[in-house]
Amino acid sequence: MIPQSFIQDLLNRVDIVDVVGKYVQLKKGGANFMGLCPFHNEKSPSFTVSPTKQFYHCFGCGAHGTAISFLIEYSGLGFVEAVKDLAQGVGMTVPDNDDRIPPQQRAEQQAKSMALSDAMSAACDFYRQQLRAAPNAVEYLKGRGLTGEIAAKFGLGYSPDEWDSLRKVFPDYEVPALVEAGLVIDKSEEEGSQRMGRKRYDRFRHRVMFPIRNTKGQVIGFGGRVMDGGEPKYLNSPETPLFQKGSELYGLFEARQAIREAGYVLVTEGYMDVVALAQLGFPQAVATLGTACTPIHVQKLLRQTDEVVFSFDGDSAGRRAARRALDACLVHASDNKIIKFLFLPTEHDPDSYVREMGAEAFEQQIKEAMPLSQFLIKEVVGDNDMTTPEGRARAQFDAKPMLQALPPSSLRLQIVRSLAQVTQTSPAEIEALFELAKPVVQTTARRAPPPKSKRMAPVGLERQIIRLLVAHPALAADLDDGAMQAIGRQAPDRADMLSRLVEACQSMGEQANFATLVELLRDAGPDFESLIAEIAAETESEFDVVRQEMAGAVRQTKMRGVEDEMEQLASSGLRDDAARSRYRELMQQKEHLKRLSGAEFS
């Protein structure tokens, strides 16, 4: 758990204009910066970044948030990853309660990671330069239908047919970082190198090079493809501190905007599929890195879009890969996500299919891809004879671990019903037999509607106070107990919301600001979210003006409270001395409130 104090300190040091400006071209427009929204397709800028609020907002699609939110939405990072990324940029180290690594050791690890990253970047630049002087590699790429523009977009390069061409980039060819980054093979890694009389040599030789980038655009590995039928056809970087195949996807960095515009991501089986499809009008394609699809891959993809389409060859290998992808998807399948499986004819991969059949035909294939639910049932039925009890029992046996992996949801219920139908069983019997956890039904106790009254205005006042506090958390210091009690009496349904808000504001101290509060209220619910959206779309006001507005709203709330109590006492007849004394006290409070200016508090 990252301490909230660290989040506050981080957002105070980070400038959201700098963060967003790395990914979106911004121009000054009044007090804010404007640009084309990266979260939806638009031709005229409706995306604003406020340096005062440290917040972004799009008037077109409604996207809004802090620097942390932007990295999460744009790069597909998790919350912790986004915080660590921002912290690294301003020289901060994210504290971790479970982390027992001494500071000096941590600094050494960070320096080592930086050295590996620098080595990969330098190697990528070198390979790109070499491609210009490698006519055989250029001809190969042209033969695959690729243009120089698409090769530049993906940073394609060429590793020369030499044992140690990287010496031209790294004069100190013996540095450990080259081995640790997977660029160079040391003699201890591979038997036979002594026989060749070489202590070290380049891992990639005479191959077209595909740099693999993480979601921040940093080169973390390479895929090298032969051009003359040699083996292996593809050679990938080994696992390194920077590169884990089970969690990275080729082309995701390049495809992010296209995925948002298309509304789905297409997952293919190879680098060349991704690059070729981008050339042919399908830039929303990515690929796994020579390994089976993992749950981490699926999680990353579903952060980018609500629809994932896996494309596989129609042969047996493609079917096996599809089944592994299905298993990886189950834990992340939900009612608001769509996962599909596309099987092309045996003789085609996506590249060849589009070239032969056309883009429209491929688009139709994508639309008609098999939904996860249908593929699951098809897999468990398989070759089982569903006319026999044994065949139906076997189908249920195969389905059990898959259904148990699915989260309790409406989707799982629909799949259970489909399985029950094909196995001549009832859904209840399958749920009992498989010991499926029941969905947690969120029920909210219905509140009785407030009694009809001529006094409806206070609700607006309390909301105004809460709204001003969200926009300017520092105003919480101006709220006294009397104001809190008055608001609680006037709008009991808002009292808890206000109490939580004031506590959050006061916990931030003098440095409280809108962006930090938003992160603190990240999971506070839809009431706060609607207020945040409104405030994000507004222009900034002078703090003194806002403080006066707050004072006026609090004073009116107190006044209504006083008048309500006076009305109740009067209706009871003021029969005893205590009631009459209280009434006179309230009269004095009312006169006092009338005399107060909008900037004063009692």
CATH of the domain at 75: 3.90.580.10
Q: For residue 318, what pLDDT is reported?
A: 85
pLDDT of 597 above 50: no
361: buried, middle or exposed (CB in 10 Å: 19+, 13-18, 0-12)? exposed
Question: Which residue is it, tokens 């890195």?
Answer: 289
Same domain (yes/no): 219, 255: no
Q: Is 271 helix (H, G, I), strand (E, B) or coil?
A: helix
Q: For residue 286, what pLDDT is reported?
A: 97
Going by C-beta distance under 8 Å and a sequence separation of 6 or more, which residues neighbour residue 525? none
d(CA 339, CA 176): 43
Q: Is 222 helix (H, G, I), strand (E, B) or coil?
A: strand
Same domain (yes/no): 226, 126: yes
pLDDT of 101 above 70: no
pLDDT of 562 above 80: no
**pTM of the complete model:** 0.67
The answer to the question of residue 439 being in a domain is no
The answer to the question of residue 601 being in a domain is no
Which of 49-53, 478-482, 575-579 comes out lowest in average pLDDT? 478-482
The answer to the question of residue 300 being in a domain is yes
Which of 183-192, 255-264, 573-582 comes out lowest in average pLDDT? 183-192
Question: Which residue is it, tokens 């044992």?
Answer: 163
pLDDT category at 487 given cuts 50, 70, 90 is low
Q: For residue 456, what pLDDT is reported?
A: 35
Among 242, 267, 300, residue at a domain's last position: 242
d(CA 340, CA 344): 13
The tokens describing 251, both together, are: 């082309």
DSSP code at position 295 = H
Alpha helices in 54-182 (DSSP H): 67-75, 79-89, 103-132, 135-143, 148-153, 176-180
* Phi, psi at 25, each rounded to 5°: -75, 115
Going by C-beta distance under 8 Å and a sequence separation of 6 or more, which residues neighbour residue 371? 338, 339, 340, 341
pLDDT of 589 above 90: no
Q: pLDDT tens for residues 59-88?
A: 888 888 899 999 988 887 888 888 988 888
Same domain (yes/no): 188, 225: yes
The answer to the question of residue 96 being in a domain is no
Q: For residue 197, what pLDDT is reported?
A: 56
Same domain (yes/no): 385, 507: no
Same domain (yes/no): 469, 587: yes
Neighbouring C-beta atoms of residue 317, cutoff 10 Å:
11
Q: For residue 128, what pLDDT is reported?
A: 97
Which of 123-132, 214-223, 379-388, 443-452 comes out lowest in average pLDDT? 443-452
Q: For residue 195, what pLDDT is reported?
A: 45
The answer to the question of residue 451 being in a domain is no
Which residue(s) pair with 371 in the sheet?
340
pLDDT of 281 above 90: yes
As a whole number, mean pLDDT of residues 355-381 equals 96
Question: Which of the residue ranges 14-23, 230-239, 321-330 has the most confident prediction, judged by mean pLDDT?
Answer: 321-330
Same domain (yes/no): 232, 117: yes
As a whole number, mean pLDDT of residues 569-575 equals 74
Question: Which residue is it, tokens 């006179």?
Answer: 584
Q: Which helix (H) or strand (E) holds 504?
A: helix 492-507
Which of 177-191, 220-234, 419-433 comes out lowest in average pLDDT? 177-191
Same domain (yes/no): 212, 111: yes
Averaged pLDDT score across all residues of the chain: 83
pLDDT of 600 above 50: no
Neighbouring C-beta atoms of residue 460, cutoff 10 Å:
11
pLDDT category at 492 given cuts 50, 70, 90 is low
pLDDT of 447 above 70: no
Question: Which of the residue ranges 55-69, 442-456, 571-585 has the most confident prediction, judged by mean pLDDT?
Answer: 55-69
The better pLDDT of the pair 333, 214 is held by 333
Going from the C-alpha of 85 to that of each of 81, 93, 594, the distances in angstroms are: 6, 10, 53
Q: Which structural domain, as residue segments, surrounds residue 300?
A: 247-368
The answer to the question of residue 408 being in a domain is yes
Same domain (yes/no): 173, 221: yes
The answer to the question of residue 220 being in a domain is yes
d(CA 202, CA 181): 12
Same domain (yes/no): 252, 355: yes
Question: Which residue is it, tokens 């390994």?
Answer: 291
pLDDT category at 162 given cuts 50, 70, 90 is very high
Same domain (yes/no): 274, 353: yes
Same domain (yes/no): 116, 220: yes
Question: Which residue is it, tokens 């080592």?
Answer: 112
Q: How many domains does the chain have?
A: 5
Same domain (yes/no): 508, 590: yes
Q: For residue 453, what pLDDT is reported?
A: 36
